[in-house]
Amino acid sequence: MVHQENTHDYLGMFMSHDVENQKVMIDMRKYMRKYIHDCVQEFQDHDIDEKLHLVNTPATIHLFKTRNVEKISQRKSKIFHSAVAKLLFVAKRARPDILLAVSFLTTWVHDPDSDDWRKLI
């Protein structure tokens, strides 16, 4: 695709070219904020029982431990899938520090259980 302008919006990246100063700026904050905000908002909008909380890293010691626990509801399963997909986009583009945990959660998007739900939160 050929553009004749100095600004482009491509795959979540807003690129601008300053011809005079010979600089290129790539800004992804708009999309990253939107996806992170959407994930948090999704939990708040559905009156989820568990509250979000701050952690130093999403890849805590319990991440890879699995247990046989009850499956979550269809509604929570859809929220889980959507949130993991958005976080995967964020992790691949701007937050590689959460990529390990999000990649692990992608393996459970088709059949998440309550343990996977807690890991997402």
Per-residue pLDDT tens digits of the chain, which is 121 residues long: 555 677 877 777 778 888 888 888 888 777 777 777 887 777 766 655 666 666 676 666 677 777 778 888 998 899 899 999 988 988 888 788 889 889 999 998 998 988 888 888 8
Q: Spell out the residues 6+ positions from residue 7 whose beta carbon is closer than 8 angstroms to its own.
A: 14, 15, 16, 17
Cα–Cα distance for residue pair 84/39, rounded to 1 Å: 9
Q: Between vectors from CA 85 to CA 95 and to CA 26, what angle results, nearest 5°?
A: 40
Cα–Cα distance for residue pair 58/18, rounded to 1 Å: 38
Q: Spell out the residues 6+ positions from residue 42 whose beta carbon is closer than 8 angstroms to its own.
A: 79, 82, 83
Q: What is the pTM of this model?
A: 0.66
Tokens representing 98 are: 């959460």
- Find out whether 38 and 90 touch, Cβ atoms under 8 Å: no
